[in-house]
Structure formats: structure tokens, C-alpha cells
Amino acid sequence: MLTEILKPDEEGVSRAAQLLLEGKLCALPTETVYGLAANGLNRDAIAGIFKAKGRPQDNPLILHIASMEELPALCHVTPLAERAAQAFWPGPLTMVLPKRSVVPSEVTAGLSTAAIRMPSCAAARSVIAKAGVPLAMPSANLSGRPSTTTAGHVAFDLGGKIEAILDGGPCTGGLESTVLLMTGKPRILRPGLVTKEQLEAVLGAVEIDPAVLGGLPDGQAAASPGMKYKHYAPKAAMYLVEGEQDAVTAFLQEKAKEDAIGILCGAGEEALFPGAVCISYGADDGQHAQRLFDALRKFDETAVRIIYARMPQENGVGLALLNRMIRASAHRIIKIL
């Protein structure tokens, strides 16, 4: 199959909506990462998503809507969920709510809840509105690989396997949405660009699921099935280095003398580590978020054996960065005392 590249103009939006209504798969930009869209009410199209991504069948999908009015038809809305939607939609927040029967079990992997999000990206919302159906849309990467933040990343992973890619340029956010369980006391299942602090200012106390930073205790089912799979993995073995700034720098300088070492570093830090392959992911948490997946994909184009990165702080967007980087490094953390 030849994958069409569409522009984010009226013609491109119409073509994407048409393909989706025909049951085809189409990658769309969002403010977080690129999504692989299918008609969320068409079981065969949904099956196509799992096949194209190589996604485990028990990992449910997020349904994307274009307006608030679509929400009550898909799930049971609580007053607290209403308040969160008012505050954070459109935007990078996904809410998990009790589903209605119209949502196919293929979308929710058999769960009684559905994950719903209204993206703020204009191109994505236009396609959803034009198609007139909710779109099931996981991140547009091969399962296990870093998520995609440019049309080029999507073409690399899924070119030839999907009907079209709508190229909206690089994603502004760069990390996937915050997934918030709203069936009881609000609980973050996956941290994202809407932070715990921002949520608490609107909703009161918000819990963080233990799977966000830890591994799953043996035998315990994941509240969010996606948390248990290998994720975001670059080809090289990645290590997070935790400790006081200068001590970590000294450690990395020693490691940089070894063969085929990659360092994911801050802006301007490259000169500290001669001999290593340094890829900068910017100067602050916002830039780190936007560039993390691109940087991990760039390391795959080099011959590095090992990638080291400083461990991010846990506050604000740092929690989302930490969650993705812990997974990308398969929980390999070096503590410098």
C-alpha cells in the first residue's frame, strides 16, 4: 500500500475523514503526539489499528471527540468529570469513565470503562468533526517504540501499512495525554502535559497510580493495561542517572570515555562530554517533553551501545518525563551517592 501524505488544509481534512469513514487507517497530528486514527465505532477498522501497530489485544484505545456534546453518548459523566472537561478540554487530558454500550468492546479491550479525550489540535478536531464519529487513536508508533512527534517518524514506523498521514508538522507538546481515572477519587494512570498540580487546583486531591513510577507488584492487574508493556524503547540500553548535579556530570564524563556511549543531555552540555554521542533535548521540562521521543529515535540512527540521561525531577511536567524515561530505560537507574 502506498501511504498518502495529506496537508492540514480543507482538502486534506476532507480526504482523511473520507478514508476513516471507509474503514481505513489514517495518522493525524495532535498537540501531544501523532495518533493512528480509525472510526471508533467500526470493529473491523479498530482491529486494523492493533494489526498495524502490533499492539497487544488487551491494551484499550482512547476515543477522541470534537465537542462536549459527544461525551454523554459514549459514557456516564459525573459532575467532577464535567468540571475537569470544562477546565482542561480541548487539551491533553484523557478521562476514563464508565462506558455506554455504543462503545465497542474492541476499543476498551473488554473493560467496563472508556477513555475519552478532546484534543486541542485544530487539524485533529476538524477531521473528527468532519467524520462525525469518535476516532479511536493510539499513538502512531509500532508497539514498544518511542511515540511519534513528526510525520516523518510516523512514515518510518507505519509507512506502507496505513492509508494516509496528515502532516501537521512537529507536535507542540511531545508527550502523550494525562490519563485520569474518574470512576472514583481521581487517579492519574499515566502522567502527561496536564500536571497533577493543575488537576488538583480544579478537582481537589488526585492520586497517582503506583504503576506510574514503579513496576507492577507481582500478580497485580494494571489499572491501565498499557502500563505493563515494554515502552518507548530505543535500540541501545538506556540508563537514568540520579544524584546531585555535579556528581552526575563527573560520572557521565567518566562514562563518555568508553566506546559507543550516547548521552541525552541538556542544551549546551555537549561540550562537557567529548567522545560521546550527545543529543540535546533542550533547556527546560517543556522542551525536554517536546523533544524526548525525537531524541530517542535519533539515537537509533547512531551506533551507540548505551545511552545515559540525567534523571528528571518529579514535579510538574517532570513526572511525565520521568514516567516515559523510566520505561524507555526499562527501570535501569544508577544512583550516585
Q: Which parts of this chain interact with Mg ion (CB under 5 A)?
A: 139
Residues 162-191 that bind ligand TXA (CB under 6 A): 176-177, 179, 189-190
Would you tell me how many other CB atoms lie within 10 Å of the CB of residue 324? Answer: 25
Q: From the list Mg ion, ligand TXA, none, which binds 61 (C-beta under 5 to 8 Å, kind-based)?
A: ligand TXA
Q: Which single residue brings its beta carbon nearest to ligand TXA? A: 226
Number of residues that bind ligand TXA (CB under 6 A): 29
CA distance 130 to 63: 15
Q: Which residue bears the cell 496536564?
A: 194
- Binder to ligand TXA among 3, 30, 39, 143 (CB under 6 A)? 30
Shortest distance, position 305 Cβ to ligand TXA, whole Å: 28
Q: What are the DSSP E strand ranges found in 109-229? A: 113-117, 135-136, 164-166, 178-181, 187-190, 207-208
155 belongs to the binding site for ligand TXA (CB under 6 A): no
Report, in Å, the least distance between residue 319 CB and ligand TXA.
15
Q: How far apart are CB 115 and ligand TXA at their closest, in Å?
A: 3
Is there a contact between 195 and 181 (Cβ–Cβ < 8 Å)? no
Minimum Å gap between C-beta 100 and ligand TXA is 13
Phi, psi of 198 (to 5 degrees): -65, -40
Closest approach of Cβ 82 to ligand TXA, in Å?
A: 19
The residue from 60, 91, 134, 318 that contacts ligand TXA (CB under 6 A) is 60
Q: Is 148 in the site for ligand TXA (CB under 6 A)?
A: no
Q: Find out whether 273 and 252 touch, Cβ atoms under 8 Å.
A: yes
Question: Given 3-state DSSP classes, what are the helix, strand and coil percentages for the chain, each rounded to the nearest 5?
Answer: 35, 20, 45
In whole angstroms, the minimum distance from the beta carbon of 138 to ligand TXA comes to 3
Q: Going by DSSP bridges, is the β-strand pair 135-136/62-64 parallel, antiparallel, or unpaired?
A: antiparallel
Closest CA to 235 of 320, 328, 158: 328
Chain residues binding ligand TXA by CB under 6 A are 30, 32-33, 35, 59-62, 92, 94, 96, 108, 111, 113-115, 117, 119, 137-139, 176-177, 179, 189-190, 224-226
